[in-house]
Amino acid sequence: MSAPIDYGSLVVAPALVEMRHAYPSLSIELVCTDSYVDLIADGIDAAVRLGRLADSNYRVVTLGGFVKWIVASPEFVKIWGQPTSPAELAALPFVVLSVLPHPLTLDLQHTKGEVKSVRCENALLVNTADAARAATLAGGGFGMLTDFSIGADVAAGRLLRLLPDWTGTPKGIHVVFPPTHYPSAKVRALIEVLRRRLEVAS
């Protein structure tokens, strides 16, 4: 199966270990990549995809959702201070994931429903979510990072949430698989394991 690098490492890999314990004879290969994977051409049974899905003939099961938080290291906040509005983010150093469709634009949503779009000007570009987290932890800029990847960092105080009433727009976590009439037994088992792990995490 295939999964994005950060979600594959943090969530899918442990889920596959759980599957191996339940089905010891099952042969599993996990391909972690942030590039688009053609399931049929590459012989992949299922893929985890985050966010808005492109139109395709694949079958889709939605497992849950995630949001992105605006975060920075305590050292960064000591130097640059706490922004008081989304507009102030535009000039701050920003650790940005370059593979996103519009990497320098932050689409933000307030807890009360207001939405704003901010274009950042001072960016450190990296091409993986793991590198974005590492650079943000190191104080290279603020980051817009997924709640599942930095929840422990925030809880431990390694990262601080900036503008905590604002997040990225909520997005889905999906499993996609080729357009057969029914998913195979191993794909169904994978979906159930991932669902259980998400329920425990929430």
Q: Give the model confidence (pLDDT) of 146-160 as tens digits.
A: 999 999 999 999 999
Q: 140 and 53 in one domain? A: no
pTM of the model: 0.84
Which domain, by its residues, includes 91? 68-168
Q: 75 and 50 in one domain? A: no
At 70-115, the pLDDT tens digits run 999 999 999 999 999 999 999 999 999 988 888 999 999 999 999 9
The backbone torsions φ and ψ at residue 93, rounded to the nearest 5 degrees and listed phi first, read -55, 135
Q: 49 and 110 in one domain? A: no
pLDDT at residue 119 greater than cutoff 90? yes
In this structure, what DSSP letter does residue 23 have?
-
DSSP strand pairing (171-177 vs 59-66): antiparallel
The amino acid at 107: D
Longest dimension (CA), the chain: 57
Q: 131 and 53 in one domain? A: no
At 160-198, the pLDDT tens digits run 999 999 999 999 999 998 887 677 888 888 888 888 877
Tokens of 49: 């995809």
The SS3 call for residue 106 is: strand
Q: 59 and 22 in one domain? A: yes
Q: 176 and 160 in one domain? A: no
Q: Cα Rg for the chain, rounded, in angstroms? A: 18
The mean pLDDT value of the chain amounts to 90
Q: 163 and 72 in one domain? A: yes
Q: 83 and 58 in one domain? A: no
The domain that contains 162 carries what CATH number? Answer: 3.40.190.290
Q: 98 and 152 in one domain? A: yes
Residue 36 pLDDT class (50, 70, 90 cuts): confident
